[in-house]
Amino acid sequence: MASAQVQPAEMPALSGCEALRKVMGLPYYYCDCEEKSTTFAFPLEEEIKDTMWYSASVNDLRQGISAYWFADCSVTLEVYAFCTSKEPTFSVTVEPNQMCDVDVTKINQQIEEMGETARLMAETLTPHIRVYPNEKGGSGRVYCYPYGLGPMSTCEDPLPLRPRMVLVSDKAENVYRMEYNHIDANGKAFVLWKQKENKPCRVWLTLDSCAGEEIGRASLSDSLHVFTPDSAQLVAARQAQRPIWLHVSHADGLSGRIYWYNRPRFEEPGKPVSKKTCEGKTIKTNLRSYSSDTAFVDTIWVASDTLTTVDVKLTFTPPTDEYDTVRVAAEDLMRGYRYTPSGTILYNYTDTIIDIIKTNTCTRRIHLSVMEPTGTEQVRDGRKAYKQLQNGQLFIIIDDRKYTVLGQKIN
């Protein structure tokens, strides 16, 4: 044992964190993690020029992370359970001018995989976050928000709008600015709104400023249909070096994602849709509902920058004419006679057409005759009635007068 002991003269002087790190064989970043970490809190907005360290809480991390990076190089965000950890618990790399996120499920899964004892320790200690650009001399601005949330973007302080970048809109009003050089030379582009419950939003474009000339507007009611700005307007803006502003408006408390894609690609057209039903019902196709005859080419989103087209033809057959005759005493009609099938209140002897419309039910169209009760009296007077079948239809003949089985007189 004596031969195994380190002599005092051979031991390095433990006069600082770096010396301790070498003796203990700790990771090269241990001292920066221990001594240079600043407190992390949502939302984080920071200029990043070199490696930055933050100390966080497990509760912060359990919210998930949405990280935005505006720069010309990528940035990596790593989370370490302890400064002594040799590998990050998890990490994400955000490409230039893009957004990347880690949802709550993934983070909680990582914590659970640590085991019960380690998990309890982690909840009493402070994890650390390391953020650094992936190119020497690289710099940019990073925004970190809880998963599903994003920075507010206003007319006074707009976020840059970049092609393919995800922008989380969780405020009722947001506006983003795109510089002319990010508009594609051919002006081809589309805007996609994604919302997990397919809640709608409104989008529109203005030139030069928030209050500038409007050059396009649309209501996006689902996550399949897109807004396609006028390409000629976009080409003109690019050539004149005029920025465009994208406005997004939706219900307060709603969270959705906005994407701008240049140069959309088109897959082969999808299988045509041809459906038929009765008037009064609706037909749902590609997340939209229709209630009247229509034929059109539907443009729908497939994935990323890819769209496809589908020929749609929807037909709604009109209701079959029904006939009915009711005989109402004058005193009953004066008080208002309620026609049971439709609930209509009638006050006069008349011939009328009544449409019975109920939600998602075939419409009934009834030709109604409201008459005095003379027909019934004639039968009671002993006049004989007999049946007659003509062309497959049954009629009642009374004194050479022809009636339908519902009592309507046939001329």
Kindly state the percentage of the chain with pLDDT values over 70: 84
The domain of 300 spans 266-317
Residue 368 lies in a domain: yes
Residue 8 lies in a domain: no
The pLDDT of residue 392 is 58
The whole-number average pLDDT for the span 313-323 is 95
pLDDT tens per residue, range 220-256: 989 999 999 999 999 999 999 999 999 999 999 899 9
Q: Same domain for 232 and 276? A: no
Q: Same domain for 257 and 271? A: no
396 vs 12, residue with greater confidence: 396
The CA distances from residue 183 to 68, 174, 216, 241, in Å, are 20, 20, 15, 10
Q: Looking at residue 259, which CATH number applies to its domain? A: 2.60.120.380
Q: Same domain for 392 and 308? A: no
Give the end of a domain, one of 317, 338, 357.
317
For the chain, counts of helices (H) and of strands (E): 8, 32
Q: Same domain for 334 and 401? A: yes
In 221-268, DSSP assigns E strands to 244-250, 256-262, 265-266
pLDDT tens per residue, range 53-105: 999 888 888 888 899 999 989 999 999 988 999 999 888 899 999 999 888 77
Q: Same domain for 259 and 271? A: no
Confidence of residue 316 (pLDDT cuts 50, 70, 90): very high
131 vs 108, residue with greater confidence: 131
Q: Among 48-57, 88-97, 119-128, 306-315, which range has the highest average pLDDT?
A: 306-315
The whole-number average pLDDT for the span 374-394 is 53
Residue 14 lies in a domain: no
The whole-number average pLDDT for the span 349-376 is 88
The whole-number average pLDDT for the span 312-337 is 93
Q: Same domain for 279 and 259? A: no
Rg from Cα positions in the chain? 37
Q: Same domain for 326 and 403? A: yes
Residue 245 lies in a domain: yes
Q: 102-106, 199-203, 260-264 — which is least confidently predicted?
A: 102-106
Q: Among 122-136, 143-157, 266-280, 394-408, which range has the highest average pLDDT?
A: 266-280
Give the integer Cα–Cα distance in Å for 262 and 159. 18
Q: Same domain for 96 and 137? A: yes
pLDDT tens per residue, range 134-150: 998 899 999 999 988 99
Residue 294 lies in a domain: yes
Nearest one of 394, 366, 363, 399 to 381, comparing CA atoms: 399
Q: Same domain for 302 and 231? A: no
Q: Is a pLDDT exceeding 50 seen at residue 2?
A: no
Q: 12-16, 43-47, 177-181, 314-318 — which is least confidently predicted?
A: 12-16
CA angle centred on 36, ends 123 and 28, rounded to 5°: 85
Give the integer Cα–Cα distance in Å for 328 and 302. 61
Q: What is the mean pLDDT of the chain?
A: 87
Q: Same domain for 79 and 31? A: yes
The whole-number average pLDDT for the span 329-337 is 90
Q: Among 85-89, 376-380, 382-386, which range has the highest average pLDDT?
A: 85-89
Q: Same domain for 377 and 312? A: no
Helix axes 116-124, 104-113, angle to 10 degrees: 120
Residue 150 lies in a domain: no
Residue 13 lies in a domain: no
* 194, two tokens: 């994604």
Total domains in the chain come to 4
27, 86 in Cβ contact below 8 A?
A: yes
DSSP letters along 102-148, please?
A: E-HHHHHHHHHHT-HHHHHHHHHS--EEEEEESSTT--EEEEEE-TT
pLDDT tens per residue, range 14-57: 558 999 899 999 999 999 999 999 999 999 999 999 999 999 88
The whole-number average pLDDT for the span 261-289 is 96
Residue 68 lies in a domain: yes
The pLDDT of residue 120 is 65
Give the integer Cα–Cα distance in Å for 119 and 121. 5
Kindly state the percentage of the chain with pLDDT values over 90: 69
The structure's pTM equals: 0.77
Q: Same domain for 29 and 130? A: yes
Confidence of residue 399 (pLDDT cuts 50, 70, 90): low
